[in-house]
Amino acid sequence: MDLDEHLDQHVHDMPYANTEAHHADAEAHHADAEAHHADAEAHHADAGPGREAFSSRPPIPLVCLTSMALVLGGGVYLASYLPRRAPLAPAVGLVAAAGVALIAAVVLVAGLRQFAWDAFFLVVRWALVAYGVIAGILEYVFVSDGTRGTMLVLLTLSLLVFAVDIPVLFGFSVARFQAPRARR
């Protein structure tokens, strides 16, 4: 038997030598792939309120984090000069920008129509209590340490942004994954 005959024999012995069987198997594989794709689409369609949490909401977490970064930058700037007196213009700019970003975040949250408001306010209420206590303790430390004047005002405003920003971020982060409810 020569090489061509030998190869011919092995080709006929192969499971897919019969082209009809090969095509039937390919069609079955294609049908399986289509069914898998349909299942994946159905899974994404049933993903619930969390699916929309990233795509259809305004960038509230980003705005809150920007506000926090600005207020922390102002605090680090002021602390870097201690015990000397810091030039206040950069700190005033950072705290003012943080306040504007916080107001923007609150306005964005207030503009939401379909949102889990009960969950949002539940989280915000308790987080405000916790972060209010933290801010109060820090304010006490600043006053006890002898911080006065413009420096104390800037640090107090920074603490205010801190005490409101984090609860808004927490509240939104929890509520966006809950079933939405229309505003009353």
Q: What is the dihedral of CA 101, 103, 106, 107, to 10 degrees?
A: -100
Output the pLDDT for position 15: 55
Q: Which two tokens stand for residue 172?
A: 């939104």
> Is pLDDT at 37 greater than 80 in this prediction?
no
User: Residue holding tokens 């012995």?
Assistant: 13
**What are the extents of the domains in the chain?**
3-45, 59-182
- What pLDDT, on the 0 to 100 scale, is given for residue 146? 87
> What does the alpha-carbon distance between residue 70 and residue 98 come to, in Å, rounded to a whole number?
5
For 43-69, the pLDDT digits (tens) are: 444 444 545 545 567 899 999 999 999
Q: Three-state DSSP class for 54? A: helix
Specify the pTM.
Answer: 0.67
Residue type, 54: F
In a 3-state reduction of DSSP, which class is residue 80? Answer: helix
3-state secondary structure at position 139: helix
The pLDDT assigned to 91 comes to 94
Of 40-44, 162-166, 180-184, the range with the highest mean pLDDT is 162-166
* Residues 94-137 pLDDT 10s: 999 999 999 999 999 999 988 999 999 999 999 999 999 999 99
pLDDT for 141: 93
Contact 183, 117 (CB under 8 A): yes
DSSP, collapsed to helix, strand or coil, labels residue 177 as coil
Instruction: Return the residue matching tokens 């390919």.
Output: 26
| The predicted structure's pLDDT at residue 44 | 46
139 vs 27: CA distance, rounded Å: 72
| 49-58, 87-96, 139-148, 154-163: segment of lowest average pLDDT | 49-58
Say which residue the tokens 């308790």 belong to. Answer: 126
pLDDT averaged over every residue in the chain? 81
Q: Write b or e for each residue in 43-64: b if 16 or more Cβ atoms lie within 10 A of its Cβ, otherwise e.
A: eeeeeeeeeebeeeeeebbebb
Average pLDDT over residues 88-99: 96
